[in-house]
A and B are shown apart, each in its own frame.
Chain A
Amino acid sequence: AQRVTQPEKLLSVFKGAPVELKCNYSYSGSPELFWYVQYSRQRLQLLLRHISRESIKGFTADLNKGETSFHLKKPFAQEEDSAMYYCALSGPGNTGKLIFGQGTTLQVKP
């Protein structure tokens, strides 16, 4: 079964501390993995995708096929990073179907 698991509902850190949002997935084949973010009173928006291997707003995520994980990391959290983060997966190509995790609320305290 295709599934995305985000084990933490809430992650609270202080400004300047490292952040790691966990994501594990279950998928037979070669999935595409994404992180979406929703800031307060804003729409869901794409943060990054594994195939581009990019760093957005200081966040990075590495796909670990052996551990079926796609954890989101940032070395120094900022208050403006406070938001809801969703990990999602899809089959290769434009299948139109994203499978989301339950989301993790990141709270960065001053």
Chain B
Amino acid sequence: DAGVTQSPTHLIKTRGQQVTLRCSPKSGHDTVSWYQQALGQGPQFIFQYYEEEERQRGNFPDRFSGHQFPNYSSELNVNALLLGDSALYLCASSLTGAGNYGYTFGSGTRLTVV
């Protein structure tokens, strides 16, 4: 089992552009959460998807949106990129009902906005 897979691993975008990050959850998991980790900071919760719907959202603007597909994989979209969006984006999958200890994290996508 490859665990949580994220793509791409690195990405460079220009301010104002749009970006899509992808996440494949661990086999057997049905829930995907996204986190933003700025340099020197802990991860910050963006949102969580379950049954193809956004279940909970953190304090992020509407420029951040997501999607979950029937196979439980997920995408994170960021529009109108700002320099401050440069960060490591982490995906974590879990099985609903497994409790807060059930998260498996991916290696992340490093986004650089120039």
Residues on A lying within 8 angstroms of B by beta carbon are: 4, 6, 9, 32, 34, 43-46, 49, 52, 86, 88, 90, 93-103
Contact = CB atoms under 8 A, between A and B. Distances in A.
Contacts of A46: 101, 103
Nearest to A42: B107
12 contacts: A44-B105, A45-B105, A46-B101, A88-B42, A94-B98, A96-B31, A96-B56, A97-B48, A100-B43, A100-B44, A102-B40, A102-B41
Nearest to B55: A96
Contacts of B31: 94, 96
A98 B103 CA distance: 10
Which 3 pairs between the two chains have the least Cβ-Cβ distance?
Answer: A100-B42, A96-B48, A44-B105
B21 interface: no
Contacts of B55: 96
Interface residues of B, number: 29
Given A52-B101, A96-B55, A103-B42, 11 more contacts: A93-B99, A94-B97, A94-B98, A95-B100, A96-B31, A97-B33, A97-B48, A97-B56, A98-B33, A98-B35, A98-B103
Contacts of A9: 40
A4 B31 CA distance: 24
B14 to A, nearest CB: 29
A86 B98 CA distance: 21
Nearest to B47: A96
Contact of B56 (A32, A95, A99, A100): A95
Given A86-B42, A97-B56, A102-B41, A43 B101 contact: no
A93 B103 CA distance: 13
B77 interface: no
A32 to B, nearest CB: 5
Nearest to A102: B42
Most chain B C-beta atoms within 10 Å of own C-beta, residue among A9, A46, A90, A94: A94
Interface string B35-57: 10000111111001010000110
Most chain A C-beta atoms within 10 Å of own C-beta, residue among B33, B45, B55, B96: B45
